[in-house]
Amino acid sequence: MPLTFTVNHKPGYVLCRYSGKITDEEIFNSWKSFYESDNWIPGMNFLSDISDVDGSAISSDGLRRLAQYSRTVHEKNNVSAVKVAIYASRPLPFGLARMYEGYSYRSPEMVRVFKSKVAAEAWLKGLINNE
Q: Which of 114, 126, 128, 129 is nearest to 13 (CA)?
A: 126
Q: Has residue 130 got a pLDDT over 70?
A: no
pLDDT at site 80: 96
Q: What is the pTM of this model?
A: 0.94
Multiple choice CATH, 3-124, 3.30.750.24, 3.40.640.10, 3.30.310.80, 1.10.4160.10: 3.30.750.24
Report yes or no: 30 and 58 within 8 Å, Cβ to Cβ: no
Which pLDDT does position 110 carry in this prediction?
A: 96
- Summarize the confidence of residues 24-42 as an average pLDDT: 96
Q: Is the pLDDT of residue 56 over 90?
A: yes
For residue 29, how many other CB atoms are within 10 A of its CB? 12
As a whole number, mean pLDDT of residues 28-49 equals 96
Intra-chain end-to-end CA distance of the chain, in Å: 33
Query: What residues does each domain of the chain span?
Result: 3-124
Q: Model confidence over 67-107: pLDDT tens digits?
A: 999 999 999 999 999 999 999 999 999 999 999 999 999 99
Sign of the Cα torsion 75, 73, 52, 64 reads negative
Alpha helices in 3-116 (DSSP H): 24-35, 60-76, 91-103
pLDDT digits (tens, 9 = 90+) for 117-129: 999 999 998 876 6
